[in-house]
Structure 1
Amino acid sequence: MIRTPLRPLARILRARETGENPDAIEAENRARRHAEIQDKARRRAEGRLIVMAAAFVLAFGTVGMRMGSLAASEPTEPQGQVSTARIISQRADITDRSGRVLATNLLTYSLYAHPHQLIDRERAISGLMKIFPDLDPDRLRADLTGNRKFLWIRKKISPEQMQAVHDIGEPGLLFGPREMRLYPNGHIASHILGGAAFGEEGVSSAEVLGVAGVEKAFDGWLRDPTHEGAPLSLSIDLTVQSAMEEVLHSGMKVMNAKGAAGILMEVKTGEIVAMASLPDFDPNDRPRPLLKGDPSDSPLFNRAVQGQYELGSTFKIFPVVQAMDLGLINPNTQINSSTPMQIGKYRIRDFHNYGKSLSVTDVIVKSSNVATVRIAQMLGADRQKAFLEELGFFAPTPIEMVEAPTGKPLVPKRWPAVTSATVSFGHGLAASPLHLAAAYATIANDGRRVTPTLVHRRTRPEGERLMSSQSADLAVSLLRQVVTRGTARQAEVEGYEVAGKTGTADKPRPGGGYYDSKVVSTFASVFPASDPEYVLIVTLDEPSIRKGGGESRTAGATAAPVAAEVIRRLAPLVGLSPITDEKLPNIAARFEPRVEPGAPAAVKLVANN
């Protein structure tokens, strides 16, 4: 910027020539400069005022519009949208598939003492002993008469106990509110629910944590406030669960069994409608776990999920359906059944001598060990192992329970010829009843893999196809004949077309070998056979029943009749109507033996005798 000098030389010289005063020139220029500065400052001030006025107009206009919008809207309760919003402290309920409560919260109180505030300590001790007779009087007296400032007396008390303590009238006996977990149905579904316990505790609140079952598996979900108290909906049906436990308990007594397990699962979804393990417990008063001895002796042991059993002849359908799927056999193929057969130094024999050969259908119906081994030999060890692994027998089940990993199958490290033979008829590989349920469901589900779940209506992708639809149908038809004319005739329930397989396996000794008179008997079934909807597994631990003047432990005489009673009770509860006589001809046609194109009519194997 070029500024005009206050005393320009040209004007000063001209003024001197004309006799003017040069100082007047300077004064004139100074006045002009000041006028320019004032104009510039005025314009700057006017600009600032315009900006401030626009800002005020915009701000008050926004406020006015918002006020008008609120005045024209419907009144609603404001909800917090930030981290300071109300946190839901309650643990979410657990319900069955119909919304009936399985686990909920109950407001109760804890009882604690400030000994230094007690007026009459002996009176307080005497009153507390009358209300809580299980307290140790010597320890209570020592705690209340010592130097302690705080003492827990009871973490949970009933309303009646609370009133009785009130009546003592001691200011040093205080109550703290808290929520406890309540299981209103007692023993029902106890192994599924598991139980809960207090975590961090204060005088006015306590943290409730899951300790087992779905309570622990979903502990984070149940405590998550973002779910706004929505319940966890399980797939089990409370009515069906109760009926299954009742029938299993009666069956266990009649069969003089040490324990029992039962699983009812939907074929299409894998949802478990009922799952029981006996003996059970009350999760409201959960017993302490065993620290030594056989874990299965504890009522906390879940036989359906944690039990590792050799499941016997229920395995025979697996090599048969695999061989049919590979085109090696069909239901009419004749298999060498000469008994005994030699594999190395081991002999494998049948309970009865079935002659020189049996059709594949009769191999399953009569439950021939020897013929099943010959079918397994056709498959080879590698293909047999791969198929059993696909069915889930080499890994824990993915069921939503913390106990699931402890039920990992006991699989042989080596797989020589004799192992391949024994596994084919259910010995040498130990798995849980839930593993068996998933495998049978896969066959019943048109050959597509079924994954068991305890969560209702969980979206899952369609299972991988493990066998052809035709092979799966043929396998179900073979299982149906086991019930109509085979070893499981006592499992027949009129109108429900039960298809299944019995399995009786000697129990292994802890030190090696097997017991002579202790078995695990299992009946694995699907129904109705013409359109399978449910899988039922019933397992009895060490059953024994008097029959025909003797003693019987076979699954056909123990597990099968118990399973029949379970189906008879449960099928109407899940909405299955009995199949009438008018429908039987069409159903029978479905199970006529079929021969796959190109399949050999007979397979002859030479025994290593």
Structure 2
Amino acid sequence: MIRTPLRPLARILEARARGENPAAIERENLRLRHERMRDTARSRAEGRLLMLGVMFCAAFLVVGVRMGTLAAAVPSEPRAAASGAAIVAQRADIVDRNGNILATNLATHALYAQPPHMIEPARVARELAQIFPDLDEQRLLADFTGERKFLWIKRRLSPEQMQKVHDIGDPGLLFGPREMRLYPNGRLAAHVLGGSGFGREGVSSAEVVGRAGVEQAFDGWLRDPANGGAPLRLSLDLTVQAAVERVLAGGMRLMNAKGATAILMDVNTGEVISMVSLPDFDPNERPRLPTQGDPSDSPLFNRAVQGVYELGSTFKTFTIAQALEEGIVSPKTVIDTKGPMVWGRYRIRDFRNYGPELSVTDVLVKSSNIGTARLAQRIGAERQRAFLDRLGFLETVPLELVEAPTGKPLLPPRWTDISMLTISYGHGLSASPMHLAAGYATLANGGFRVTPTLLAGGGKPGERVVSAETSAAIRSMLREVVSHGTATLADVEGYSVGGKTGTADKPKRTGGYHKDKVLATFAAIFPSDAPRYVLVVTLDEPEDTSGSEPRRTAGWTAAPVAGEIIRRAAPLLGLRPEIETAQGFGVTLAAN
């Protein structure tokens, strides 16, 4: 800054020349300098005051807006921030093929305690034990008065229970929001859905994870936010599932069986329309896995895919289909059935004497072990194994259930000639009912391999296993079995049902077979002339006591149950009964 001198020389000289006092010039310049300094300071102060005023106005405006926002917001309890990954609780619904809810979510609360904040621990323990009878009052009191700072009391609360706990009024009892999995249909389709539980848990949320069934198989998909909350659509039909389950449960009680399973499948797409395993459970209260005893006795055991059994004479259909496909025989070819058939130290017998010879069709209709073994001899062990492999009997079923891989077929250690003979009529190889359903679907749909699926939309047909001509011949034979063979009790008026019975003695744990315990199976296709569905019904240790003597064969036990299932389910599937046309009106004219 350049300052003007108080005594400028030019003015001093001029003043002296005029005889004026030079000191007046200095005083005047000093006065003007002070005035300029005063004006500058005033200007600076006014600017600062203006800036300060603007800042105060802005601050008051922000505070006012925030107060208005808080006043308009819904009040909520403050939550402590925690580090770590957020828990994603949202889980997609599961629906059947028609959009009916099978599994959904329900907002609820969990109850936890902070003992240091409790006022009356003894009273709280006593009243909680009254609300929840499964809680022990003394154990609660010990936890509340000990050194614990936090403990869960109940993972899920009903609204009524929550209100009762709230009425206790102790600040040490707190609620945490939860999203629980709800199965509104209870036990229906329990083995398909499986069940769920809590994974990672926090005070304000919990992770819902699948424990079994499709809930576990599609756990990642159901929890993936990228799906936008779209439901998982299964191939099940809820109405048909309910009908099948009701009939099977009644048949199981009527036949005094310890367990049962039924599978209804689309023969073209492999879609499982219904899958029932009894006894079952409620996935809302999924029981614990058994730690001792036979796992198959647990209600958690899925007999449809985990149960691996010798399926008896239902396998004869595959032997005959292969013999027809390879041109070894025709349906009318006569087979030697004189018995017993001796192979080394083994003897193969029929259930009863069917005579010295039968046609290939009658071998299946009358269920001749000897006739089927004769056909297996012509096929050979190597070709038999290859054919069953193409049908999927040598590997686990690729079904969308976590339990499916456990149902691995039991094969003979060496595929010897005697193994070939016994496997031809259903002994020596164990498979699941789902294997059997897929195999019959393949033979019924024109010969294309079927892969079972629980997803709506189905899959594409696989490789051709048998020709259309072989498929048609097998369908005709299976219809003969029901119309006048071993499965007449499965015939349903109005619906052309074809099928095959199979009765296998249950093996003992110590070796050998039980004489009075069997596994009865009936595999059906309908309508037999143009099949759309396959049904497999299996009863574990059935016994029909309606006659003078107990009857355990599949024709008396599994077949009638399957017939009733078809009678109930076919209309629900949109199949119209075929009405036989009358030959004449039968009207007699009479004169008055």
TM range, normalised to the smaller chain?
0.7 to 0.9
Q: 3-state SS of the aligned residue for 1:473?
A: helix
Q: 3-state SS of the aligned residue for 2:171?
A: coil
Count of aligned pairs between the two proteins: 498
Taking the TM superposition and a 5 Å limit, the aligned residue runs for 1:112-261 are: 112-261=112-261
Instruction: Report what 1:419 is aligned to.
Output: 419
The AA in structure 1 aligned to 2:487 is A
Instruction: Report what 1:533 is aligned to.
Output: 532
Instruction: Report what 1:505 is aligned to.
Output: 504
Distance 1:97 1:583, change over 3 A: farther
Q: Is the 8 A contact 2:87 2:200 kept in 1?
A: no
Q: 3-state SS of the aligned residue for 1:214?
A: helix
Question: Offset of 1:101 from its aligned partner?
Answer: 0.4
The AA in structure 1 aligned to 2:535 is L
Taking the aligned partners of 1:454 and 1:462, their CA distance within structure 2 comes to 15
Instruction: Report what 1:581 is aligned to.
Output: 580
Instruction: Report what 2:521 is aligned to.
Output: 522
Q: 3-state SS of the aligned residue for 2:524?
A: strand
Question: Offset of 1:461 from its aligned partner?
Answer: 3.2
Taking the aligned partners of 1:238 and 1:583, their CA distance within structure 2 comes to 37
Q: Is the 8 A contact 1:271 1:454 kept in 2?
A: yes
CA deviations 1:465-507 (Å, max 9, x no partner) are: 0011000110110000000010000000011100000000000
Question: Offset of 1:127 from its aligned partner?
Answer: 1.3
Question: Offset of 1:547 from its aligned partner?
Answer: 4.4
Taking the TM superposition and a 5 Å limit, the aligned residue runs for 1:143-542 are: 143-458=143-458, 460-542=459-541
Unaligned runs of 5+ in 2: 1-85, 584-592
The AA in structure 2 aligned to 1:463 is G
Question: Offset of 1:579 from its aligned partner?
Answer: 1.1
Q: 3-state SS of the aligned residue for 1:409?
A: coil
Q: 3-state SS of the aligned residue for 2:545?
A: strand
Instruction: Report what 1:21 is aligned to.
Output: none
Taking the aligned partners of 1:166 and 1:319, their CA distance within structure 2 comes to 69
Question: Offset of 1:511 from its aligned partner?
Answer: 1.4
Structure 1 length-normalised TM: 0.81
CA deviations 1:68-108 (Å, max 9, x no partner) are: xxxxxxxxxxxxxxxxxx99741000000000100001100
Q: 3-state SS of the aligned residue for 1:552?
A: coil
Q: 3-state SS of the aligned residue for 2:550?
A: strand
Taking the aligned partners of 2:291 and 2:223, their CA distance within structure 1 comes to 30
Question: Offset of 1:149 from its aligned partner?
Answer: 1.1
Taking the aligned partners of 1:408 and 1:304, their CA distance within structure 2 comes to 12
Q: Is the 8 A contact 1:88 1:228 kept in 2?
A: no
Q: 3-state SS of the aligned residue for 1:545?
A: coil
Q: 3-state SS of the aligned residue for 2:236?
A: coil
Distance 1:325 1:583, change over 3 A: farther
Q: Is the 8 A contact 2:182 2:284 kept in 1?
A: yes
The AA in structure 2 aligned to 1:250 is G
* Runs of 4+ in structure 1 over 3 Å off: 86-89
Q: 3-state SS of the aligned residue for 1:299?
A: coil
Q: Is the 8 A contact 2:314 2:426 kept in 1?
A: yes
Distance 1:87 1:147, change over 3 A: closer
The AA in structure 1 aligned to 2:498 is A
Taking the aligned partners of 1:132 and 1:471, their CA distance within structure 2 comes to 64
Q: Is the 8 A contact 1:110 1:178 kept in 2?
A: yes
Question: Offset of 1:290 from its aligned partner?
Answer: 1.0
Q: Is the 8 A contact 1:267 1:535 kept in 2?
A: yes
Question: Offset of 1:548 from its aligned partner?
Answer: 3.4
CA deviations 1:556-596 (Å, max 9, x no partner) are: 00000000000000000110000121499xxxxxxxxxxxx
Question: Offset of 1:319 from its aligned partner?
Answer: 1.1
The AA in structure 2 aligned to 1:525 is A
Aligned alpha-carbon RMSD (Å) = 1.3
Taking the aligned partners of 1:303 and 1:354, their CA distance within structure 2 comes to 34
Q: Is the 8 A contact 2:125 2:138 kept in 1?
A: no
Question: Offset of 1:553 from its aligned partner?
Answer: 0.1
Q: Is the 8 A contact 1:308 1:407 kept in 2?
A: yes
Q: Is the 8 A contact 1:111 1:174 kept in 2?
A: yes
Q: 3-state SS of the aligned residue for 1:160?
A: helix
CA deviations 1:330-385 (Å, max 9, x no partner) are: 01100000010101100001111111110001000000000100000000000000
Percent identity for Structure 1 against Structure 2: 63
Question: Offset of 1:120 from its aligned partner?
Answer: 1.4
Taking the aligned partners of 2:516 and 2:89, their CA distance within structure 1 comes to 54
Unaligned runs of 5+ in 1: 1-85, 585-609
Structure 2 length-normalised TM: 0.83
CA deviations 1:495-549 (Å, max 9, x no partner) are: 1100000000000001110011000000001000110000000000000012431
The AA in structure 1 aligned to 2:534 is V
Taking the aligned partners of 1:89 and 1:131, their CA distance within structure 2 comes to 27
Is residue 2:135 matched to residue 1:110?
no
Q: 3-state SS of the aligned residue for 2:394?
A: coil
Q: Is the 8 A contact 2:321 2:474 kept in 1?
A: yes
Distance 1:583 1:116, change over 3 A: farther
The AA in structure 1 aligned to 2:572 is L
Instruction: Report what 1:556 is aligned to.
Output: 555
Taking the aligned partners of 1:310 and 1:457, their CA distance within structure 2 comes to 31
Q: Is the 8 A contact 1:506 1:514 kept in 2?
A: yes
Taking the aligned partners of 2:547 and 2:90, their CA distance within structure 1 comes to 59
Taking the aligned partners of 1:465 and 1:583, their CA distance within structure 2 comes to 40
CA deviations 1:104-139 (Å, max 9, x no partner) are: 011000001111111111221111111112111221
The AA in structure 1 aligned to 2:282 is D
Taking the aligned partners of 2:96 and 2:352, their CA distance within structure 1 comes to 47
Question: Offset of 1:265 from its aligned partner?
Answer: 0.4
Q: 3-state SS of the aligned residue for 2:355?
A: coil
Taking the aligned partners of 1:335 and 1:125, their CA distance within structure 2 comes to 80
